[in-house]
Amino acid sequence: MPSALLPASAIPPPHEAHLLARYRHIRAATETLAADLSDADATVQSMEDASPAKWHLAHTAWFFEEFVLAARLPGYAPYDERFRYLFNSYYEAVGARHPRPRRGLLTRPTLDEVLAYREAVDDAMTALLATAQTDAEAALIELGLHHEQQHQELLLTDILHLFAQNPLRPAYAHELAAAVVADPRPAPEWIAFEGGVASIGHAGDDFAFDCEGPRHSVLLVPYQLCSHPVSNQQWCEFIDDGGYQSAGLWLSDGWRWVGEQDVQAPLYWEERDGAWWQMSLRGMHPVDPDSPVTHISFYEAEAFARWAGRRLPTEAEWEHAAQKLPATGNFAESHALRPLPDRQNTSGVLRQMFGDVWEWTGSAYLPYPGFRPQAGAVGEYNGKFMSGQMVLRGGSCVTPESHIRASYRNFFYPHQRWQFTGLRLADDL
């Protein structure tokens, strides 16, 4: 059985439960993820796109301090005035900040000092949560918790990237066993969907990021989706067929990227004695043919689809298809590294839509009709990134389960692939 990164008891109460309980659960989960990291592991920044684990730990505390505690308690004294500068990520409206490419130079504060900072923020938040909240306050705290969950995923993707740079290829968690796939993976099937006017986007009282709405109508032409994400086995066929050497399969930007970066396989794949191995959170191991391919760029996803004679789904197609499925991640509120076998083997329907890999869509990350960013500094959360990025859907094996939903719009630049990114084929009917 694939092991979860968190004990079952760590499953947070549902959204409607007491906010304090959820706060405690989610905050503790972040620290659990960092529990086995050394001070050095938590400090080094392996590339500009990634951040140190320590920075994730501190920044998520800063978020509550800056947007909740300071706003709610006008006389609130920051834990350390200098942390406002060090741990702001990109909020222009709240002042200057430490430059992103230099996050890895902060050997001080130490990991222990950052954990103490988190504890102090938790104490203040606990006191605050013991009192009544306005709706606006509760919404900000909820935002902070989802923000925290995003950084849980980033902490893991960034640690994997760091460890993959080390010639020793250390494992983040050795005990993460591979999924036991009892039966052979069922053959992929095509699932058809009717066209017409459909509704996508978030509506209702549950939490969603501002960019997930407003809910609106879209016009769909009849389409079909593949039952499974593309597997490593399929990807090997693409490689063997010269996919990375065939200019005609690639977008112009993608072909240049392939040439400049000398890309020949998914990120973290290495050829050893004629076989493909993969670096993952459990260290180096042979590529599992049945698992969804992951750590591919949009360019690769797009080229693969062309090679297969298919295309990527639009985000509207994906969401429309996903709306009737339970948004169940791989593990109860956990960060697992492999799909659950029982979910994989269910037949006849869309499988592995949630919690396996983020699936690249063919849609650019742009505002929905009528979109207005949230007021205040947190309005920078999503809206200002609506250029140059592509939408991904579904959630990955390191996405917290309670963070997954059909309307969720993840977004990355087309060349980025250190996230757990994969694809599912689509086609016209």
What is the contact surface with a copy of itself in residues (CB under 8 A)?
Answer: 38-44, 46, 54, 82, 85-86, 90, 92-93, 98, 102, 104-111, 162-163, 165-168, 170, 197, 216-219, 221, 247-248, 250-255, 298-299, 302, 362-364, 366-367, 369-370, 380, 384-388, 414, 428
Smallest distance, a copy of itself to C-beta of residue 380, A: 8
Q: Which is nearer to a copy of itself, 205 or 260 (CB)?
A: 260
Residues 251-273 as b or e (16 or more Cβ within 10 Å = b): eeebbebbeeeebebbbbbeeee
Instruction: Report how far Cα 268 is from the mean position of its chain's Cα atoms.
Output: 17
Smallest distance, a copy of itself to C-beta of residue 167, A: 6
Beta strands per DSSP E along 306-381: 358-364
Smallest distance, a copy of itself to C-beta of residue 198, A: 10
Stretch (H or E) spanning 41: none
Within 13 Å and on the Cβ side, how many CA atoms surround 350?
Answer: 25
The torsion defined by the Cα of 373, 63, 46 and 175, in degrees rounded to 10, comes to -110
Smallest distance, a copy of itself to C-beta of residue 394, A: 20
Q: Which is nearer to a copy of itself, 54 or 151 (CB)?
A: 54
Tokens 């007491």 — which residue?
18
Smallest distance, a copy of itself to C-beta of residue 11, A: 31
Q: How far apart are CA 429 and CA 374, in angstroms?
A: 38
Q: Which is nearer to a copy of itself, 13 or 373 (CB)?
A: 373
Contact assessment for residue 395 and residue 420, using Cβ atoms and an 8 Å cutoff: no
Q: Which is nearer to a copy of itself, 41 or 153 (CB)?
A: 41
Contact assessment for residue 253 and residue 261, using Cβ atoms and an 8 Å cutoff: no
Q: Which is nearer to a copy of itself, 178 or 251 (CB)?
A: 251
Instruction: Report how far Cα 205 is from the mean position of its chain's Cα atoms.
Output: 23
Q: Which is nearer to a copy of itself, 109 or 243 (CB)?
A: 109
Cβ neighbours for 180, distance < 8 A, ≥ 6 positions apart: 1, 2, 341
R_g of the chain computed on alpha carbons:
21
* Residue 33, both tokens: 């993820």
Smallest distance, a copy of itself to C-beta of residue 232, A: 25
Q: Which is nearer to a copy of itself, 20 or 120 (CB)?
A: 120
Smallest distance, a copy of itself to C-beta of residue 105, A: 4
